[in-house]
Structure 1
Amino acid sequence: MGNSELGWNHFSSRHKIRKCKIVNAAINGKPDKKNGARLEYWAYAWSGNRRVQVTVIVQYARKTADGRYDAGKGKKIGVITAYCKGMNKCPDWLNDVRLSASDHSS
């Protein structure tokens, strides 16, 4: 579930992503960007002519890079945040639209 700084509790309130299908659409496939244990996945949502890119950040390691969080022996932290690119809060319509994962070609 996380807390106010990372995980579901963080991004569901702070960035208004309230449906698992949004995160699942992004992480269904290979990462779009990788920096060590930090993985970045992208998905696209659209409604009519409105479109947003959803970015999901995963820490695929026991600890965060800054060492503040530790999942415990043999565990991985997982999704730390998700947000709409270029926005503080995702639009209200996001939680009820079609989603498409990135084609992972970049």
Structure 2
Amino acid sequence: MGHLSGTASTAEAAPSPAQPHPWDHRVKCNETDADGRRIPTRYGNSEFGWNHFTHRHNIKKCRIVNEALSGNPDRDDNHGRLEYFGDAIRAGPNPAHVKYVVIVQYSRKTKDGKYDAGRGKKIGVINAFCRNQPNNKCPAWMNQ
């Protein structure tokens, strides 16, 4: 389980394979988990990836996603879906503790087959959200 800290990784661009469904394959951030899996967070679209969860769940910093990914998966369905749990802790006069989840599709294609990352690549992070928060939306202090 990761604890919120660290710095954001730099973005990298890669050529896009032909896609039957439009999505932004570019990588916003990268992290390597404790088992050596290199996991990208792609920009994606409104269905998955950065463009999905940054708006819907108020996660706007790579360090939030990367901190959870830096450990071991907390759930593995043995079909490419991994879940990493994280804790965000705010100290000070108004302390808070929020648990969050980062969901990864560690395979070339999404489970429904609609999206393909290309030969030798992984889809990566498909969603991230806070638990026990209204609409699974993370508090603004996590992005500071």
TM bin (shorter chain)? 0.7 to 0.9
Q: CA RMSD in A?
A: 1.1
SS class of match (2:109): coil
User: What does residue 95 of structure 1 align with?
Assistant: 143
Counterparts of 2:124 and 2:131 in 1: how far apart (Å)? 20
TM-score (norm 2): 0.63
Counterparts of 1:21 and 1:72 in 2: how far apart (Å)? 26
- 1:47-79 CA-partner distances (Å, limit 9, x unpaired): 243211110001000111111211122211001
User: What does residue 125 of structure 2 align with?
Assistant: 79
Q: Does 2:89 correspond to 1:38?
A: no
Counterparts of 1:73 and 1:19 in 2: how far apart (Å)? 28
Shift of 1:41: 0.3
Counterparts of 1:66 and 1:86 in 2: how far apart (Å)? 28
SS class of match (2:44): coil
Structure 1 residues without counterparts, runs of 5 or longer:
97-106
- Aligned pair count? 96
Counterparts of 2:47 and 2:83 in 1: how far apart (Å)? 17
Counterparts of 1:62 and 1:82 in 2: how far apart (Å)? 19
Moved over 2 A (4+): none
Q: How does 1:50-89 map to 2 (within 5 A)?
A: 50-87=96-133, 88=135, 89=137
Percent of aligned pairs sharing the same letter = 58
Structure number with the bigger relative contact order (C-alpha 8 A, sep ≥ 6) is 1
User: What does residue 46 of structure 2 align with?
Assistant: 4
TM-score (norm 1): 0.84
